[in-house]
Amino acid sequence: MLRVILILCFVLAVSGSALYMTKLSVDGRYDRLSQLQTEIKAAENRAIILEAEWAFLSRPDRLLNLSSSLLSMRPITQNRVLPLESIPLRQPASAPSDSKASDTNDRGDNAQ
Amino acid sequence: MRNNTPFSPANSSVISALWRRVWPSRPDPDKSRRIARARLLVAGVVATSCFMGISAKAVWLVSGQDGAKSGQLQTQASAARGAIYDRKGRLLASTIPIMRLHLDPKMVLNPFEVATKLAPHLPGKSEQDILKALARNSRYVELDRKITPARHAAIMGLGLPGVNISATSLRSYPHGSEAAHLIGQVDRDGQGIAGIEKSMQAKLAAGENVNLSIDLGVQAIVRQSLRHQIERFEAVGGASLVMDIKNGEIISLVSLPDFDPNHFAQASDNARFNRATKGVFEMGSIFKVLNTAIALESDAASLVSSYDVSKPLRISGYSIRDFHPRKRALNLSEVLVYSSNIGSAKIAEAIGPEVQHSYMEKLGLLNRPALELPETAQPLIPRKWGRLSTITISYGYGLSVSPVHAVGAIAAAAGNGEFIAPTLLLREPDEVFERTRIFSSETNRKVRTMMRLVVSHEDGTANFADAPGYLVGAKTGSAEKLKVGARGYNEKANLTSIVAAFPIHDPRYLIFVMVDEPKPQKFSYGYATAGWVAAPVIAEIIKKAAPVLGVLPVDIKAPEIRQNLEPNLNIGGKGAIFASF
């Protein structure tokens, strides 16, 4: 009987310690979680402020002033706008034997 | 039976029985041992169960605390008010986290020290202001609602007791007055009080974002062009709308003068007033587009109908005159291109009050528009829709509507014949929405061609609205405003407006521009009519905004343009020539 009680006490002591250790580690993880959540919130807040700042800096009137003072660009006139279909497709290489010349031509086309 | 009782009353069985109860005789040792063992067992069980109870409570506390902690963590994340974006995802309004500085005067040890140290960190607040705040009989005095992170660090570094900083939020409008009337405003508690902020309050308060149909780029172009013209003609204000004819989306909504929503309290009532949706006006001649479309659709007139406009029309004591009188009969197209009031009146008489009223109702001109803004207006309808009202409404007097009304109705006449209620919310690509067919494609084709001739014909009133390559069709209107506090019209206070569609052979966008009370200028040869004031704004907007909207210039000689416009309109005695489109 005494042996059984002793074993029981030992088991209780071990499981109690294990429970306490688990509790401590869970506490640690919760602290980490709360720290991460604080960091996420701070990062989200920074993102919100940066988004607002970006919107503020890319105001159409500001961009217009900057572009008119720093760039020599003007609004596109209608005769400079063409639909994509109106650009003719590249002609197939006329002389397949002369591969070198055709390669050069390809590169030239791409560069344009 | 043994009797061990020291005193035993004699000869009375009742008394002896009672006595034994009060003073029982000593039990035998075996029985006493059994009783003692039973008592020990009970005490043991009670003690064990108490300890087990305590242990169980300890275990429960250990595990229960964790649950409470996780619940506490979850409550930290509360929903911030949703943001407002334009159709291309550009931010128009958002809630940003900021710091608020407040004092607890009871905790302040040395008010003079606090005032001296704090004042340099608070722009716009003097030491006297801070001392005055500290003298108040309160435990909470707010000094500044917008503390930046840099100032926050500096103020906390001062280490002053009673000076507290707490987190709060601020509704910010990074584009300032660019779309002020449209976005609206929130109050100090973050509740929407105007514009989209108010109409979308439930959605925004739940943390959801709102995507508008507005294109900020087009909005900026329209606002700049309109503001420039208002300044040139010393006008009191103006409004402009750009609408996608195909689905009713409003691409731009401008009302001038406007205000900076970041400083709403400083805005005047005039600046806060949304002329594009809340203001109702007699629109003048742009209503002739509707009059012509209704006449064609109801068979009250055809392209060959002829109207004598050589003499002013007298009706009920009123005289109806033309701005540019012509001493001959005009056909239906000429009435619109020359903007003849007399011709329009005669067409309206052929349409009749009932038919006109029913079309105006179907075009949404007699009810408050279903726009997603709290600032909409009920139109001013004549008390009796009789012959005189029918005639005056034909050229835009006697029925006051808001620009958003006019845009919705004219889009049906100049577009593809369907009435689509204008909306400020971005539509999904496959969204099904209500469309009501009002005009046939045949009527639309004729009306569109006439609108093109108003721009391209040398006698048209909107020559300045042309943007080469974009095939603009338009109709101008210059209406005299009602006198304030008196009967009749003020000849010197005009409301000039224009409505234009482009490209007119298959209209995608409708633009409305209104300039309120422009003054005649030297450079305009003393004119302050819509052709001089409002029409150039259309050309400016289309030239700059068409590339943004993805509208390509068209070749005027292309066959689809011939197919979609009416070739046989007779203007000035000769048939319209294609080249003149």
What is the token pair recorded at B256?
Answer: 């001038």
Q: What amino acid occupies position B96?
A: I
What average pLDDT does the segment B424-433 reach?
91
Residue B106 β-bridge partners: none
Q: Do A81 and B90 touch (CB under 8 A)?
A: no
B29-74 and A2-57 helices cross at what angle (nearest 10)?
10
pLDDT for B70 beyond 60: no
Spatial distance between the Cα atoms of B356 and B366, rounded to a whole number of angstroms: 12
pLDDT for A102 beyond 80: no
Spatial distance between the Cα atoms of B345 and B300, rounded to a whole number of angstroms: 13
Residue pair B416/B439 in contact (Cβ under 8 Å)? The answer is: no
Spatial distance between the Cα atoms of B308 and A4, rounded to a whole number of angstroms: 122
Spatial distance between the Cα atoms of B340 and A64, rounded to a whole number of angstroms: 42
What is the token pair recorded at B290?
Answer: 């509707």
Q: What amino acid occupies position B97?
A: P
- With H, G, I as helix, E, B as strand and everything else as coil, classify residue B510: strand
Spatial distance between the Cα atoms of B288 and B505, rounded to a whole number of angstroms: 20
Q: Is residue B284 part of a domain?
A: yes
B-chain residues near A82 (CB < 8 A): 552
Q: Do A41 and B77 touch (CB under 8 A)?
A: yes
pLDDT for B563 beyond 80: no
Residue B404 is predicted with a pLDDT of 95
pLDDT for A110 beyond 50: no
pLDDT for B16 beyond 90: no
Spatial distance between the Cα atoms of B522 and B436, rounded to a whole number of angstroms: 46
Please, which pLDDT band fits residue B11 given cuts at 50, 70 and 90? low
ipTM rounded to 2 decimals: 0.72
Nearest CA in chain A to B56: A16
Using the structure block, give the residue that is written with the tokens 């040398």: B458
The catalytically annotated residue of B240, B285, B389, B394 is B285
Residue B65 is predicted with a pLDDT of 56
Q: Is residue B93 part of a domain?
A: no
B-chain residues near A67 (CB < 8 A): none
Among B271, B217, B278, smallest CA distance to B242 is for B217
Q: Is residue B278 part of a domain?
A: yes
Measured between CB atoms, does A87 come within 8 Å of chain B? Answer: no
Residue B285 annotated in active site: yes
Residue A106 is predicted with a pLDDT of 44
Residue pair B479/B397 in contact (Cβ under 8 Å)? The answer is: yes
Question: B9 versus B185: which is more confidently predicted?
Answer: B185
Q: What amino acid occupies position B394?
A: S
Q: Do A30 and B552 touch (CB under 8 A)?
A: no
What is the DSSP secondary structure assignment for residue B2, as one 8-state letter?
A: -
Spatial distance between the Cα atoms of B143 and B69, rounded to a whole number of angstroms: 35
Q: Do B90 and A78 touch (CB under 8 A)?
A: no
What is the token pair recorded at B118?
Answer: 């704090």
Measured between CB atoms, does A54 come within 8 Å of chain B? Answer: yes
Residue B75 is predicted with a pLDDT of 41
A45: buried, middle or exposed (CB in 10 Å: 19+, 13-18, 0-12)?
A: middle
Q: Is residue B441 part of a domain?
A: yes
pLDDT for B574 beyond 90: no
Residue pair B250/B213 in contact (Cβ under 8 Å)? The answer is: yes
A-chain residues near B66 (CB < 8 A): 23, 26-27, 30
Q: What percent of chain B has pLDDT over 70?
A: 93
Within a 10 A sphere around the Cβ of B463, how many other Cβ atoms?
Answer: 17
Residue B285: give its domain's CATH number. Answer: 3.40.710.10
List, for residues B213-267, the tens digit of each pLDDT value.
999 999 999 999 999 999 999 999 999 999 999 999 999 999 999 999 998 888 8
**Average pLDDT score, chain B:** 87
Nearest to B96 among A19, A49, A79 (CB): A49
Measured between CB atoms, does A53 come within 8 Å of chain B? Answer: yes
Backbone angles phi, psi at B297, to 5 degrees: -70, -35
pLDDT for B392 beyond 70: yes
Residue pair B479/B281 in contact (Cβ under 8 Å)? The answer is: yes
Q: Domain range holding B502? A: 219-580
A-chain residues near B76 (CB < 8 A): 37, 41
Spatial distance between the Cα atoms of B518 and B521, rounded to a whole number of angstroms: 9
Nearest to B90 among A45, A55, A78 (CB): A55
Measured between CB atoms, does A45 come within 8 Å of chain B? Answer: yes
List, for residues B95-150, the tens digit of each pLDDT value.
988 888 888 988 888 888 888 988 888 888 888 888 888 888 888 888 888 887 77
Q: How far is A102 from chain B (nearest CA, A)?
A: 34
What is the DSSP secondary structure assignment for residue B171, as one 8-state letter?
A: E
Q: Is residue B76 part of a domain?
A: no
Residue pair B83/B209 in contact (Cβ under 8 Å)? The answer is: yes
Q: What percent of chain B has pLDDT over 90?
A: 47
pLDDT for B460 beyond 90: no
Q: Do B176 and A30 touch (CB under 8 A)?
A: no
Q: What amino acid occupies position B193?
A: I
Nearest to B552 among A26, A51, A83 (CB): A83
Residue pair B16/B8 in contact (Cβ under 8 Å)? The answer is: yes
pLDDT for B63 beyond 80: no
Q: How far is A92 from chain B (nearest CA, A)?
A: 29
pLDDT for B386 beyond 70: yes
Backbone angles phi, psi at B539, to 5 degrees: -60, -45
Residue pair B162/B107 in contact (Cβ under 8 Å)? The answer is: yes
What is the DSSP secondary structure assignment for residue B577, as one 8-state letter?
A: P
Handedness of CA B178, B181, B184, B188 (dihedral sign): positive
Spatial distance between the Cα atoms of B565 and A29, rounded to a whole number of angstroms: 74
Residue B575 is predicted with a pLDDT of 59
A with B: how many residue pairs have Cβ under 8 Å apart? 82
Spatial distance between the Cα atoms of B208 and B200, rounded to a whole number of angstroms: 10
- With H, G, I as helix, E, B as strand and everything else as coil, classify residue B435: coil
Please, which pLDDT band fits residue B76 given cuts at 50, 70 and 90? very low
Substitution target from B48, B60, B96 for chain A, most A beta carbons within 10 A: B96
HEC readout, B268-333: CHHHHCCCCCCCCEECHHHHHHHHHHHHHHCCCCCCCCEEECCCCEEECCEEECCCCCCCCEEEHH
Substitution target from A1, A5, A22, A61 for chain B, most B beta carbons within 10 A: A61
pLDDT for B581 beyond 80: no
Q: Is residue B301 part of a domain?
A: yes
Q: Do A30 and B70 touch (CB under 8 A)?
A: yes
Residue spans of beta strands (DSSP E) within B88-158: 91-103, 141-147
Q: Do A51 and B91 touch (CB under 8 A)?
A: yes
Q: How far is A34 from chain B (nearest CA, A)?
A: 7
**Range scoring the smallest mean pLDDT among A87-101, B55-69, B254-268, B294-308:** A87-101
Contacts of B190 (CB under 8 A, 6+ apart): B81, B95, B169, B171, B205
Using the structure block, give the residue that is written with the tokens 């038919």: B355
Counted domains in chain B: 1
Using the structure block, give the residue that is written with the tokens 């707490």: B166
Residue B94 β-bridge partners: B172
pLDDT for B351 beyond 50: yes
Q: What amino acid occupies position A62?
A: R
Residue B372 is predicted with a pLDDT of 93
pLDDT for A79 beyond 80: no
What is the DSSP secondary structure assignment for residue B462, as one 8-state letter?
A: -
Nearest to B553 among A33, A60, A78 (CB): A78
Residue pair B447/B292 in contact (Cβ under 8 Å)? The answer is: yes
Within a 10 A sphere around the Cβ of B569, how many other Cβ atoms?
Answer: 22
pLDDT for B480 beyond 60: yes
Q: How far is B408 from chain A (nearest CA, A)?
A: 28
Among B241, B233, B229, B232, smallest CA distance to B179 is for B241
DSSP-derived secondary structure for B35-52: HHHHHHHHHHHHHHHHHH
List, for residues B519-548, the tens digit of each pLDDT value.
988 888 888 888 999 999 999 999 989 888
List, for residues A18-60, the tens digit of each pLDDT value.
999 999 999 999 999 999 999 998 899 889 989 999 999 999 9
What is the token pair recorded at B176?
Answer: 């300032």
Nearest CA in chain A to B60: A19
Q: Is residue B516 part of a domain?
A: yes
Among B114, B231, B124, B224, smallest CA distance to B161 is for B114
